[in-house]
Structure formats: structure tokens, C-alpha cells
Amino acid sequence: MSGLKIDLQWSPVDDDIFITYGTSLHLFQAKERNGSFEVDEHEPQSTSTITQLASNTDLPFMKCVAWSPRPQPKNVFAVAQASGRVSIIGFGNDKNEDLVGKEFNVRFNRQCNYLSWNTLETNLLAEGLDRNRNEPCVLIWDVVNSMPEASDRTRHSFSEGPVTKPFAELGSGETSSSFSWCPTDSKTFLVGMANKHLRLYDLRDINKPRLETHHKCVAGICFEPLDRNRIASYMDSHIAIWDLRSFDRPINTITENKSVAKMTWCPTKVGVLSILCKDSPTVKLHDIRHAIYGADDVEQASVERNIQPFGKAILSSFAWHPTQENRLMTVLPNGTLRDMTIFERISMEWSSTFKLMMPFSKDTLRCVEESENYGDISAVMRNRINLRYGLEVDDIAKNLKAIEDEPHLHGLWRWILNLHNVINTQGPSNSRQRVSASVGIISTLGFDREDNSNLKSEPVAVQWKASEDAAYSSRTHYRSQQRRLALQLCGWQTDDNKDKFKAFINRLIEGGDPERATAIALFHLYIKRALEILSECAMNTTPSEGKPNLQAVAMALSGFTEDRNALWRRTCGTLRYQLENPYLRAIFAFAACDDDNYDDVLNEIGMSVEDRVAFALNFLPDAKLKVYLSKLTEELTKTGDLDGILLTGMSEKGIDLLENYMDRSCDVQTVAIATVFSMSNIVMKDTRVLEWIEGYRDLLDRWRLWHQRAQFDIVRQTFIHDHRVLPQVHISCNFCSNQISNTQSLMNKDRMMISSGGNQYRGPQSRPKMPHNKPKISCCQSCRKALPRCAICLAHMGTLSGLGADTSGSGVKLTEFGAWFTWCQTCRHGGHADHLTQWFSEHSDCPVTGCSCKCIAQDAVSRRVPRENTTTDCNEIAVT
């Protein structure tokens, strides 16, 4: 402190009083706190008021100043001079002349390095001195009960006045450069000595330090006011952070570019260390984070922040307000002051209910509710799960209702739906054409292998289905069993079965997509049917609905001719670009193409990927088909377009595609659900897939959507047969402590049935019926001791009681809820859940004879809702 040109301190008693001191002492009052105050050395210049109350210029050779923390009298200071003499002065104190005016002299004149008042025992004042022979370097004065020193030592004193006897002294023959009282213990203080020692003393025994360490950072030390175990010290440009619980080495070190001029902890915020370097315009704030005790190689982290109150002007000193949060006073060497508020770095966090949380003060959080989510992906995912997105297993198409407004996901779910339809309708397990789970177009055609000789497509000449008087040449279709399966994955129905193809076209029309129905009909050379669709839909639509004039399109298509030089072909090839609907453009591109060149149709990006792929499957030979699908797969994978899953399936390339989509959209929900619905056990070995699934489960838990997370786990276990959630609670035998459960045996049996393709379950007669096939266990399988009896039916637990289980259920249920083990947590009597539910609907006492337990009264709900006739269920816990 003595090295600063002008230093300042806030009053420890009054909130609006502070002093500045250098060669003289000035007392100021800041009446307002409006962020910025400036005053020069002559008169205040500010929008608020800083008033100079008093000054004292009769203090020659002033080295250190300490403000007394005593509430009465106010504005009392201890001033140390270059000779080591300490004087008690005050501004306008007439009532306590016994304190003001006192002086404390040392035997030998030495420079004073610091003064420090004890904030708890306010009569104690510590002074640090330079080395002089065997004289102590740390003197602690009792300013109230001080006595002159009467001994032979005073005869040889070189002091300017009578020598005062210290309350305590230590450090004989050494130099003390720093000192700090413990903020919570009036008897404990830390002192820096001999430029290499940090020692912790107790006033009750100052002969030996309680703690000691050797370190060069001893020029200045200070306890953190809000953490008695944390201290900071510095020397030159090095700062060390210490913890008294591990005092052998610093928990963190900070190195500055220049020597440190002043260092102090913020008195209102935990862990904020303020540093001002020499000839620097910046006050650096280091936010010291939590330390890791016991870890020798891990230092405590800190976050640095720079404050420049006067821009590039060099600061002389600064001081935090002792009670008002974030209030900082700074001073320039010419005496200009600035009172400012340091605004917090606001850390914001979204709550699980999409409310923005931010700190408002030291002990207050503010919640900001947003009326709109602005399309944030987290809000979108939460809205989806509320609509049961990814939880519909029996009818997969219902999952599309949650994403009706997200067309970029429709292609993925159409592939999932088509894949499940193909698997459910495929042939026996020994069929060579059997489709595996998670298959894509590339693997179906064998293009994922270098040798694609398995694909041998047969060209078939297909005639136009037009009116009898029209004569058109044939078009070439390519047919194979692999192409047929691929078309099913695209959702197309071949025209081999006229009735199914007609029903397929009618579904498209009823779904409100006549243009697509027309295009698919024309692609199968049903030009007459295409004209009928356009004419019928034109009669049912009006131009105000935003639909194109389908009647005009029908009239233009009716003039179709195969003459290359005909005006119709040239006109269609030019004017089709004016049509907004991509399927209408594809219709005229297909009709006007030359020499089986279908590039205009295949590159019509407005058409869905499955329709373009299905068109290629019909009209491209094997070589061109492979080139086209490979190029399209690469483009969709690179852009993360989920429509590309149709081509890749849940293969390695499919996972890469999902990863690219995840990187662009952060939609962990869709990628996790897609991998589960693919029914592939192989993709579950990929670490990326496991991270997505666990991340989505954790997200649902953080949203407190535990029911939806449990349902997702059930869906996962339904489709991924290798994934089994083990029981989390078991019933053990009271005699041998082994598990009592028939769950594992049934799970193994069920797994064998599923792994063989589920063919054992095909047909109503072959499905196992519960409970006839369920093992009946009435004793421990290990020690053969009988299980307890149900208190109602007296049957051994584990057997099928009178209520039994549903024998006509379609699912494989291990045990119905009514047969679960249930018991009272107080008396430990119990039985079957259904029996106890019925019993406690009419009684409140335990059903066991001689037991006086009021089982129903143990229920928290029954205690909270008083009533005369209790009919609620008892507080048993059902365990499987």
C-alpha cells in the first residue's frame, strides 16, 4: 500500500464515506450511486455528488493508513510514519480524546510496511517493520489499554518519544512485509516474513506458528472474507492462491506481465480476486473456481476479466465497497475518482420447461418466460414427444401425425413404414428373397458389394395403355426380384396385380395428391388412366384453392405423340418449366423424352426421392442404375438428407448420413428413434448410435418426461431383441437370500422365439397362452422352502391365484399386476395385489389375525385427505 501514489479506502462503518491518501488525507462522502463519478483534485465534477468533508495535510512522511472498524468514535485512523511511529488521528471527534491523539513508538526507528486493524477485536492494531538487529518485526498494539514500556530496553532506545509496550510481538531479527487478520477468528493472523515464509499464528500462543510454508510470494497477503480457508499472496508479478487445509503448496498460481501494485479479495462475492499491476490502466478480476483437494496435478481454475474505468489512463488504486455488491471506487494519480458498478457476466440456462433462467442478484434467480420458441429444436422435440412421436408401435403411421409440418422427416418414416410392411408380408425364413431388417435399396440390389453379378435384370417391352385407336411404340421396363423388393421399399405397387395397382392409385387420389397419382400412372404407361385422373380432379377443384388448372394439363397431355419433329413435343419441352408442380413437369418430361433419355425426370428434385428411385428402378438398366443410385446416395449423405435412408438403410453409410443430419439439426430425437425402429441389432454396436439413444433418454429425464422415457425403453426392447432391461428389483428368499423369480426363464424362452423370426407365433393357434405355459413357483428354487402365503386366499405366493391372468392376451406378459407380490411396509404382511386392493377397499386393519397394524393409515394419501370411511389402496409397494 505504501508504494501507491494515491490510495483509497471505504469506511468500515458508513456506506457513503471513503478516504484518499498519499501525502495528505482527504475524507469524502458519495451520496449517490449512479455508476460513474468523477472528481479532480480541486472540485467535484459529476452528475451525482461527491463531497469533500475534511482533510489533514499535517502528516509528514506518512507511509500507511488504517481505518478503525470501531463504530464509535467514527472516522478514526491509524497513521504510520517513516520512522515507525503510529499516530491515532480523527476528523471532528471531541468525545474520545483518550483514543485520538495517542502515539505508539518503537525502540528503533524503522520503516513501517503495513498497518492492519483487527475487525473483531477492534482494540488490536498490527504493525509490520523492517529488520533491525534482534528487534521484533511484528508488533500488535492494544490501542485502548496500552502502557508505556518500563524496562532497561528503553535506555538504549533511539525512538523520538516514549516507547509503548506492545500487546504482542514476534519475528525477532526478521522483516515482515505483509499481514492479514483472519476474518472469522480474532486470535488468528497470517504474516509474511523474511521474504520467504508464510506463517499462521494464534495470539494465545505466538511462540510457534500453527502453520508454516516456504514460498517467495510474501510481499502481500490477504484472507478471503467469505472463505476463511482461502488466502492469496504475491511477490513481484507472481500471485499464489492457498488453502489452509493444504498449506504445503499453492492450489493455483497466476503470473502477470508487470509487478503487482495492489491485490484484494472482493468482500461481497466468493472467489473474486482483484489485481492492479504497476503502471496499468486495468483492474483484473480473477474468478477462482472450486479447488480439487488432494489432486496434486490439478490446479484450481480461474476466469479472468479486465476492468478499465478510465480507458487507457494509468490507475493509482482501487477499493471494493465492503457491503454493496459490485461497487468499485478507482482513483488516478492526480486524484480523479470514479465510482462504478461492475455488471455481472450473466450466465443463462434454459429450464426443462423452456424458461430462461438467469441470476438477478447474489441470492435471486430470475425466470423469463418466452411466449414463442422461435423454432428452437428443443421445443420442437418436446412438442413431438407430447404427440407420442416415436412411441406408436402397433400403428407406425401414427408417428407421422406428430411431424405433419416437417416434410423433411416424411421420407424417413415412409421408409420405416414400408420396411415393416415388407418384413411382415415376406415369405418363410428359408426364402432366398427374405428381407433383413434395416435394409436399403443399395443393399437390396447388391450394389454394396464389388461383385454385383447377383442383379440380372430382364428387359421387358411394355405397351402403352391408351385408347384403341391410338398406336404407340413400347417402352422398356427392367424387372428382377431384387427390383421388385426395392419398389416395395419405395412404397410403389407394381402393375402385375391390376387390382392392387388400381387401389394404390386410388389411395394417392384420396390422399389429395392427384398430380403424383397421374405421374405414377403415366410412368406405368397408363396414359388413359392418367387423363381420367386429371379430368376428374379438375372437376372437384377450383383455381382459388391454389391448384393448377388440371383440365388444361389434361388437354395438353391428350395431344401426346411420339413424333420427334412434332410441334407438341417441342412445345412441351419448352413450356413445362412454367409449371410449379414437380410431378406435372415430370409428366411432360417423360412424355417428351428421346431415346430412353430420362435425365429430366431423374433430376427433378421437386419429386420425392422414393419416386425418383422407383422410376429409375423401372427404366434404367443395371449399369446406369448403379451409377445413378451411387451418385444420389453420395449427395444425400453429404447433405444429411434423411430421404437418403431409403438408399443406405441402417448400414455404415446410413449411420454417417444420420450423423451429418444430427450435426446440422441437433435433432437427437429423430436419429435415436430411427435407429430403434430400424430393428437392426448390428447398428446398436456403433458407439454413435448408443450415444444418441442415451442422450435422448437423458434429455427426456431432464424434461421430467419419465413416462415417455419408459415407453421409449419399451419400444427399444420391442424392436431390438438383443437389448433387454434387467429387472431392477428382485424378491429374495428369506432363508437362503437367493432370487425368487421366473422372469429370467421366460425371457430366455421368449428370446428364442423372437430370434427365430417369430414364426412360432404365426397363426392364432400357435401363440403361447398365459398363464397355462407359465411356470408355477410356490417355493424357493434354491433351498426348496415354501414361499409365504397370501393373507387373503392363503395360497402360496408365486402361484396363480384365483384371479389369474388374461389367457386371451396378444402380448407375452410375465405376470399380471393382480398376481404381484405386495406387502405393508410396517407389519410386512401382504399377498396378491388384487386381493389386498379388494380387502382395503372395505377395511383399514391388516387382514392377518392378531395383527393390529392399520395398514391403510400408512398411506401418505390417506393421511393427507381425511375422511370417515377410507377406501383408498394401502401403501404397499408392488415388486416384480
Does 44 have pLDDT greater than 50? Answer: no
CA separation for the pair 302, 820 (Å, rounded): 55
Give the residue among 93, 185, 172 at the shortest CA–CA distance from 139. 172
What is the per-residue pLDDT for 293? 43
What is the per-residue pLDDT for 301? 61
pLDDT digit string (tens) for 550-561? 777 777 777 666
pLDDT digit string (tens) for 619-645? 888 888 888 999 999 999 999 999 888
What is the per-residue pLDDT for 427? 54
* Residue 416 identity: I
Q: Which three cell numbers stand for residue 343?
A: 455488471
Q: Where are the beta strands (DSSP E) in 15-132?
A: 17-21, 25-30, 50-56, 62-67, 76-81, 86-90, 103-104, 112-117, 124-129
Q: How confident is the model at residue 231 (pLDDT cuts 50, 70, 90)?
A: very high
Q: Does domain 72-307 correspond to CATH entry 2.130.10.10?
A: yes
What is the per-residue pLDDT for 478? 86
Percent of the chain clearing pLDDT 90 (strictly above): 14
Q: How confident is the model at residue 251 (pLDDT cuts 50, 70, 90)?
A: confident
Sheet of 337-341: strand order equals: 317-320, 327-331, 337-341
What is the per-residue pLDDT for 355? 76
- Write down the domain spans for the chain: 72-307, 346-375, 385-454+642-725, 458-620, 728-880
77-91, 432-446, 775-789, 805-819 — which is least confidently predicted?
Answer: 805-819
What is the per-residue pLDDT for 148? 64
162-176, 300-314, 773-787 — which is least confidently predicted?
Answer: 773-787
Q: Which strand (E) or helix (H) includes residue 458?
A: strand 458-462
pLDDT digit string (tens) for 585-608? 888 888 777 767 888 888 888 888
CA separation for the pair 653, 682 (Å, rounded): 13
Between the CA of residue 49 and those of 62, 514, 542, 550, 843, what are the distances in Å?
28, 79, 76, 81, 78
What is the per-residue pLDDT for 869? 38
Helix 706-719, helix 668-677: angle, nearest 10:
30
CA separation for the pair 609, 636 (Å, rounded): 10
CA separation for the pair 1, 9 (Å, rounded): 11
pLDDT digit string (tens) for 507-521? 888 888 888 888 888
User: What would the DSSP string read from start to end of 741-800?
Assistant: -SHHHHHHHHHHHHHTTSGGGSSTTTS--TTTTS----B-TTT-PBPPBPTTT-PBTTS-
What is the per-residue pLDDT for 232? 93
Q: Which three cell numbers stand for residue 208?
A: 510457534
pLDDT digit string (tens) for 428-483? 544 444 556 567 888 888 887 776 556 788 888 887 776 665 666 778 888 888 88
Does 719 have pLDDT greater than 90? Answer: no
